[in-house]
Amino acid sequence: MEIILTTTPVQTSGRQRLTLRKFFIAALITGGGLLLAGLVLTGKSKPVANVTPEPLRPVVSILHAQPSAISLAVNTQGTVEARRRISLVAEVSGKVEKVSQQFEEGAFFNEGDILLRLEQADYEFAIARARSQVAAAEQRLAEERGRNRQAKREWRELGTVEANALFLRQPQMKAAEAALLAAKADVSAAELALTRTEIRAPFSGRIETKRVDLGQYIAPGTAVAEIYATDIVDVALPLNDSQLAALKLPMNANVDLGSPVTLSTDFGGREWQWQAKIRRVQAVVDRQSRTVNAIAEVLEPFESQASGRPPLTPGMFVRAEIPTPPMPNLVQLPASALRSDNTVLLVGDGDKLIRQSVIVQRRTEQWAWVAGLKEGSRIVRAQTGLLIAGLKVEVSELSVAMGDG
């Protein structure tokens, strides 16, 4: 009998080894994973508290307030007007017989110059008739005086002490005396009318508009020209109540104020200036603008200048700068330091911003002059929308001490 050997046990043993190998690998992987997980769990750092960092502070430059007495300038404007402007009117009638060379629009004349002359023949005839009436009145008076003396002699011859006034012709003599006076007055009136045929300049000035010319017949009361004086011109300068208070101009004082004013205007591509003085304040407040006009006076506005400065002609528009008396405790600030609500920002304790109200005395595009700040106050130089009260800031090393302007 033949015996056959099989390899089944050997195959079973190989499979066991393969299974053990797989198990060993799986266990190794699992152990490695567990070891790694343990290391991760045991090696995790402790949690740290979350701290919010302090926000950045905005950097501001400051000014140190140093209040002092400052003389400010009130700026206003006005139009030049002649102090004396009149209509030159004929007092008698007649035809214009002669016209002066100065009787032209824009021409200058002196006081007493004859600008027009009317025909004089009618007035010379009137003088002759009036003088004849004087002679007749003198004759009648002489006759009445002679009759009075004759009546007195006759009354004495009658032996009566008291004579009758009518018998002595006293009323007739008084009437003759009055008639003589009236005749002489007629002569004076005729001579005055003759002088009025010459229309003279009542003052030195300039003709603005002429209304008649040679050969024209004019009646009494006819305006022959519009003229104005050239010795003084006035400028009405509107001022509000705060400007009046700053200038200390009284509205109820009948005094010569004498406050200096600098007038300026642009002419021919240059700026020209004149010195003036405020002489008075008008009596009413303008009902529309609620301002009061201060009257500045300029002497000799047409005086010739070697510099070629133009005359200060009526109708010219001028700017005016009026210095105020020194105002105490003012601080000059850049306009950028002032808010629209008339407040500034100060850097207080702990470098926190504080809002401070101030009194604005004057403001321009570049500067503002305010009151109400203590000496040494640290003022923020420039305002921005990010700067608010209570905010902590970083103060710049650059600071400017403010004195008077």
For residue 19, pLDDT over 80 is answered with no
Whether residues 235 and 318 share a domain: the answer is: yes
For residue 277, pLDDT over 90 is answered with yes
The full DSSP string for 214-271 is TT-EE-TT-EEEEEEESSEEEEEEEE-HHHHHHHT--SS--S---EEEEEEEEETTEE
> If pLDDT is split at 50, 70 and 90, which confidence band does 25 have?
confident
Q: Is 355 among the domain residues?
A: yes
Q: Is 195 left (phi over 0), alpha (psi -120 to 50) or beta?
A: alpha
pTM for the complete prediction? Answer: 0.69
Whether residues 347 and 296 share a domain: the answer is: no
Lookup: tokens for 255: 């005094």
Burial 194-232 (b: 16+ CB within 10 A, else e): bebbebbbeeebbbbebebeeeeebeeebebbebbbbbe
Whether residues 311 and 337 share a domain: the answer is: no
Owning domain of residue 378:
60-70+328-401
Q: Is 262 among the domain residues?
A: yes
Q: How many residues does the chain have?
A: 405
> If pLDDT is split at 50, 70 and 90, which confidence band does 37 have?
low
For residue 291, pLDDT over 90 is answered with yes
Q: Is 1 among the domain residues?
A: no
pLDDT tens, position by position, 150-171: 777 766 666 665 656 666 677 8
Ranked by mean pLDDT, the top range of 73-87, 143-157, 292-306, 335-349 is: 73-87
Lookup: tokens for 116: 């027009």
Whether residues 242 and 310 share a domain: the answer is: yes
Q: What is the pLDDT of residue 405?
A: 44
Whether residues 316 and 240 share a domain: the answer is: yes
Contact 387, 353 (CB under 8 A): yes
DSSP state of 349: G
For residue 9, pLDDT over 70 is answered with no
Domain boundary among 289, 308, 323: 323
pLDDT tens, position by position, 226-240: 999 999 999 999 999
> If pLDDT is split at 50, 70 and 90, which confidence band does 50 have?
low
Whether residues 332 and 387 share a domain: the answer is: yes
For residue 289, pLDDT over 50 is answered with yes
Give whole-number Cα distances, 346 to 187, 220, 379, 388, 402, in Å.
88, 76, 5, 10, 14
3-state helix, strand, coil in the chain (%, to 5): 25, 35, 40
Q: Cα 321 from chain centroid?
A: 8
- For 325, what's the count of Cα atoms within 13 Å in the CB-facing half-sphere? 9
Whether residues 341 and 390 share a domain: the answer is: yes
Q: What is the pLDDT of residue 106?
A: 92
- The CATH number of the domain holding residue 397 is 2.40.420.20
Lookup: tokens for 365: 């595009």
Q: Which whole number is the average pLDDT over 367-374?
A: 90
Q: What is the pLDDT of residue 219?
A: 95
pLDDT tens, position by position, 77-135: 999 999 999 999 999 999 999 999 999 999 999 999 999 999 999 999 999 999 999 99
- The CATH number of the domain holding residue 253 is 2.40.30.170
| CA–CA separation, 226 and 231 (whole Å) | 16
DSSP state of 392: B
Whether residues 316 and 355 share a domain: the answer is: no
Q: Is 203 among the domain residues?
A: no
Q: Is 251 among the domain residues?
A: yes
Q: What is the pLDDT of residue 52?
A: 62
Q: Which whole number is the average pLDDT over 38-45?
A: 60
Least reliable range by pLDDT among 22-26, 113-117, 263-267, 389-393: 22-26
Q: What is the pLDDT of residue 3?
A: 41
Contact 305, 294 (CB under 8 A): no
Q: What is the pLDDT of residue 382?
A: 87
Place of tokens 């003709």: 207
Q: Is 264 among the domain residues?
A: yes
Q: Which whole number is the average pLDDT over 360-383?
A: 88
| CA–CA separation, 347 and 58 (whole Å) | 12
| CA–CA separation, 295 and 291 (whole Å) | 13
Give the list of residues 6+ apart from residue 127 with CB closer than 8 angstroms, or none.
187, 190, 191, 194
Whether residues 305 and 359 share a domain: the answer is: no
Q: What is the pLDDT of residue 307?
A: 73
Contact 241, 281 (CB under 8 A): no
Q: Cα 82 from chain centroid?
A: 18
Give whole-number Cα distances, 343 to 81, 338, 353, 371, 401, in Å.
41, 6, 12, 11, 19
| CA–CA separation, 233 and 82 (whole Å) | 4
Quick one: CA dihedral 289, 294, 299, 305, positive or negative?
Answer: negative
Q: Is 387 among the domain residues?
A: yes
For residue 53, pLDDT over 50 is answered with yes
Whether residues 138 and 150 share a domain: the answer is: yes
Q: Is 307 among the domain residues?
A: yes
Domain boundary among 263, 298, 323: 323
The count of domains in the chain is: 3
Domain boundary among 298, 323, 348: 323
Lookup: tokens for 314: 């009526």
What average pLDDT does the structure give for the chain?
84
Whether residues 345 and 393 share a domain: the answer is: yes
Q: What is the pLDDT of residue 43?
A: 56
Whether residues 245 and 262 share a domain: the answer is: yes
Q: Is 65 exposed, middle or buried (0-12, 13-18, 19+ CB in 10 A)?
A: buried
| CA–CA separation, 61 and 59 (whole Å) | 7
